Amino acid sequence: MKTKESSRSGGHLGSTIGLDILVQDVMTRDVISIPKYESVIQVAKILSEKNISGLPVVDKENKVIGIITQADILSIVGMRKEHTLKDLLKHMLGEPLHERKLGDIVGDIMVSPAVTIKPHANIAEAAQMMDEKKIRRLPVVDDGNMLAGIISRADILKAVLKRLK
């Protein structure tokens, strides 16, 4: 079934969508960030309470130096990103998991440097970066690498759906 958008563009749905929508127009500006010396337990509480899956890690000047995600925290108990729920259940029953990260503070287990994007990039670039790096969110930074926002796959999806209506 062809939509108005695919008929108009003469091609596939989304072939040009996203090229004219900027990251700054759809990113979340009120971002929770965390310093690298924060405890992993505190980060886990924030992620759980706010129902988010990752946080940018910033230095004293609010420059992005890394990112910490649920997957990073789960790595403390030996969960890798490739592990399934079945693997976690086996681990809970006593079976060891490998590639365990160790540390009590964010700086010990965060991914650094974080993959970031500029506010004036388009969402097609953001989506491509997320796909290539197999990540779910990108901290948005200004020219001084200061945290300006965050964009997630959900933000991109909402923008595309809004455009298609």
- Give the pLDDT of residue 76: 73
Examine residue 113 and say whether the peptide bond preceding it is cis (omega within 30 degrees of 0).
yes
Q: What is residue 57's DSSP assignment?
A: E
- Looking up residue 88, the CATH number of its domain turns out to be 3.10.580.10
- Give the pLDDT of residue 84: 53
pLDDT averaged over 10-residue windows placed end to end, the chain, 165 residues? 41 63 96 95 93 94 95 71 54 54 84 96 96 94 96 94 86
- Give the pLDDT of residue 163: 86
- Give the pLDDT of residue 96: 52
Are 155 and 27 in contact by the 8 Å Cβ rule? The answer is yes
Q: Which domain holds residue 13?
A: 4-164
The model's pTM: 0.76
CB neighbour list of residue 10: distance below 8 Å, 6 or more residues apart: none
Q: What is the pLDDT of residues 38-72, one digit of tens each?
A: 999 999 999 999 999 899 999 999 999 999 998 88
Question: Nearest to residue 148, comparing CAs of 25, 24, 48?
Answer: 24
What's the distance, CA 84 to chain centroid?
Answer: 20
The total domain count for the chain is 1
